[in-house]
Structure 1
Amino acid sequence: MDYTLAIDNAPETIPGGTGILLLHPSIGETDRIDTDFLKTDTDNFFVVSTRTTAREVEQKLEHYDVDESKAEILDTLSVERGYSRRPSDRVHYVASPDDLEGVVSKTRTFLESHEGKRRVSVDSLTEMAYYADDEGVFEATDRILDLLVEFDAVGLFHLSKEVHDEAVLARFRDLFDVVLDLNVDGNLTVEFDEE
């Protein structure tokens, strides 16, 4: 199935199974891109949050008027930091951002347990690599991309271009069909692999 993509200069639709890499500066404002991606043409979405807690994700969704009833959130920070946790049908936890197996497993569970149009946001790969390592995160990303294909879903993956060297950035870019490159001025360029 096709998914509407509400992003300037990008194709109007993308097929299920498509992964999108969002390259951004460390101080880049990615929330608008992320929330526009999540709330457009979707039945349910899954936010893998490695930078903020579930509560902060909920606040972001509310601020950008995203329907929270469609959301499930994977909080990777609260357990490690000793914050209070309130597991629910919509909020899940793993021990820390380097629990890559847990992240992949919880993503599969979400995709298996929902039908229709499903979107996944991973914010961010950079934070996962900070806790784990580039190689582990690369492999986990590849596995999540395979899940998107298997379940006809789409995903948006955040990666800071100021933290990783060119070789690492190039390796991640090669995994994705669509690359969004956000510069410090807020301008966005889109690279689309039409093969």
Structure 2
Amino acid sequence: MDYELAIENAPESIPGGTGILLIHPSTGETDRIDTDFLKTDTDRILVISTRTTAREVQQKLEYYDVDETKADILDTLSVERGYSRRGSDHVHYVSSPDDLDGIVDITRDFLADNDGKRRISLDSVTEMAYYADEERALGAVQDLLDLLEEYDAVGLFHLSEEVHDDADVQAYKDRFDSIVYLDEDGTVEADF
């Protein structure tokens, strides 16, 4: 199954099973790319947020006109920070951004429980590595990529390049056939 892609300078579509690495500066404005990816040609979306709370993700989706009825959100921050949580069928929680097994398990359940075209956004791998470590984060990214392939889904993985050393950035890049580069000035380049 192919998925349309709404990312400038990238192919018009990608096959199911594709993971895209979005490399951006720490000051980069990734919301536009992320939400364009999520709202194009899709039946269900899962936003895995290691950077913001579920409420902030909902506000972002609403602001960028993403159909929230299609969205599940995995909030990794609220429990650890002691924020109030409103559980629902479409908002999930793990204890912290370093609960990588929990993140992978909820992603697997989402993919198994939903049919059609499914997209996942992980914002961000950088935060995941900050809370866990590079090696464990890299392992979780590989597990998520394997799930995308198994379930014919697609995913967008955010990575803030300057926070990681060159060898770690290369290790992430080696796992992806599709990479999008966002420059500080907003220029988008793609390597597919």
> TM bucket by the smaller chain?
over 0.9
Partner of 1:185: 185
Secondary structure of 2:191's aligned partner? strand
Partner of 1:162: 162
> How far apart are residue 177 of structure 1 and its match?
1.6
Partner of 2:32: 32
1:97-176 matches, cutoff 5 A:
97-176=97-176
> How far apart are residue 162 of structure 1 and its match?
1.0
- Percent of aligned pairs with the same amino acid: 69
Partner of 1:51: 51
Partner of 1:23: 23
- Structure 1 unaligned runs (5+)? none
Deviations 1:107-141 (A, max 9, x none): 00000000000000000000001000000000010
1:56-67 matches, cutoff 5 A:
56-67=56-67
Deviations 1:36-87 (A, max 9, x none): 0000000000000000000000000000000000000000000000000011
Partner of 1:42: 42
Give TM-score, length-normalised by structure 1. 0.98
Give TM-score, length-normalised by structure 2. 0.99
Secondary structure of 2:162's aligned partner? coil
User: Amino acid of the residue matched to residue 100 of structure 2?
Assistant: L
User: Amino acid of the residue matched to residue 116 of structure 1?
Assistant: G
Counterpart Cα distance in 1 of 2:177 and 2:11: 12
> How far apart are residue 24 of structure 1 and its match?
0.4
Q: Does 1:69 align with 2:87?
A: no
Counterpart Cα distance in 2 of 1:2 and 1:177: 16
- Structure 2 unaligned runs (5+)? none
Aligned length: 192
User: Amino acid of the residue matched to residue 7 of structure 2?
Assistant: I
Secondary structure of 1:162's aligned partner? helix
CA RMSD of aligned residues (A): 0.4
Q: Does 1:87 align with 2:81?
A: no
Secondary structure of 1:10's aligned partner? coil
Counterpart Cα distance in 2 of 1:9 and 1:85: 39
Counterpart Cα distance in 1 of 2:131 and 2:187: 29
> How far apart are residue 182 of structure 1 and its match?
0.7
- Structure 1 residue runs of 4 or more that deviate by more than 3 Å after TM superposition: none
